[in-house]
Amino acid sequence: MKATTMRDLSQDWPEALYDTLKAADVGHMSYVPDAGHTTLINLLNEDKQVKTNVLTTEEEGVAIATGAWLGGLRSVILMQSSGVGNCINMLSLPVQTRTPLLMLVTMRGEWNEFNPWQVPMGKATQAALEAIGVTVLRAETGKDLIEIVEQAATMAYEADGQIAVLIGQRLLGKKKW
C-alpha cells in the first residue's frame, strides 16, 4: 500500500479512501448525504478537480455515472444499503452496456443498528446486487476497505465491471442520533 501505510486505518480510512479514489483517477462523485460517508463526501467536495452532485434518489447516480463515463470521467456513487433498493432497476443500464460502475455502500441493519426499518434492506443488499449482475465485495476493516477499493476500481475502470463495495456497519460505528 502507498501513503496509507503510515495511517491508522481503523480511524483514518476515509482519508485513505479519498487517496485511493484519486489514485484511480476518479473525477466525479454522486451521493446521497450519509453520516458514514461524511468525511469522504467533504474531501471530494473540496477537491476542485472532482465534479460532485447531490442526488435526490440513488438511482439518479447510476444514470449520472454512466453519463460521466461517456463524457470521459471516472465516477463513484456513495450511498447507504437502504438506497440500493431504490436503484435496482436502473442498474440494468451499466450491467447491460458493460459501463464501468463503482459504488461504495455503507451498510445499515447490521451490527448495533437502532432502526428496525433498516434491517430488511441491510439483509437483502448483497443478494439484490448480485441478482442484477453487480459484483459485490465487502470490507469490515479500514485496511481491507482500502485494498478492496483499489481492486474494485481496477475491476470497474479497467475491466468494465459493475462493482459495489459494501462497507460493514461495524467499521462505521454506531449511529448517534
What local confidence, expressed as pLDDT, does residue 26 receive?
98
Please choose, from the candidates 169, 118, 161, the residue with its C-alpha nearest in 3D space to the C-alpha of residue 140: 169
> Please, what is the angle between helix 13-23 and helix 142-157, to 10°?
20
Q: How far apart are CA 58 and CA 142, in angstroms?
A: 24
What local confidence, expressed as pLDDT, does residue 35 receive?
85
Q: Which residue has the cell 434491517?
A: 119
Q: How far apart are CA 172 and CA 41, in angstroms?
A: 14
What local confidence, expressed as pLDDT, does residue 4 receive?
46
What local confidence, expressed as pLDDT, does residue 1 receive?
43
Q: Where are the domains of the chain?
A: 3-172
Q: Which CATH class is domain 3-172?
A: alpha beta
What local confidence, expressed as pLDDT, does residue 116 receive?
72
Q: Are 149 and 17 in contact (CB under 8 A)?
A: yes
pLDDT in tens, the chain (177 residues): 444 444 556 668 899 999 999 999 999 999 999 888 999 999 999 999 999 999 999 999 999 999 999 999 999 999 999 999 999 999 999 999 999 999 999 887 677 767 778 767 888 899 999 999 999 999 999 899 999 999 999 999 999 999 999 998 877 766 665
